Amino acid sequence: MTDKALINDLCDIMNASFAELAAAPAVPSFRVEEPPHHVARPARDCTDADLEFFSQAFNRQAENADQIQTSRYVYEIALAC
């Protein structure tokens, strides 16, 4: 299994957990920690493809979870840097 496959599997697990959390009547919204752009971007070996994958992984874990509060525009800006 590749690192990316493992990350995608973990995102799917987190997405299922977020769906359960979102279904709880006492949880009107929740926040998910941002992807690792802020750590990876300064790394010398970090590529635009890596940043794109981090965005894809974050979006995968947050997919169909309307209650998640995010700031996705920050990640799109990070890709442009």
Q: Would you list the domain boundaries of the chain?
A: 3-80
Q: How confident is the model at residue 6 (pLDDT cuts 50, 70, 90)?
A: very high
pTM score over 0.75? no
Q: How confident is the model at residue 8 (pLDDT cuts 50, 70, 90)?
A: very high
29's tokens: 């919204």
The owner of tokens 């769906």 is 19
23's tokens: 């279904």
Mean pLDDT calculated for residue range 43-50: 82
Q: Which residues contact 64 (CB under 8 A, 6 or more apart)?
A: 15, 19
Q: How confident is the model at residue 39 (pLDDT cuts 50, 70, 90)?
A: low
**What pLDDT does 38 receive?**
66
Sign (positive or negative) of CA dihedral 4, 57, 22, 27: positive
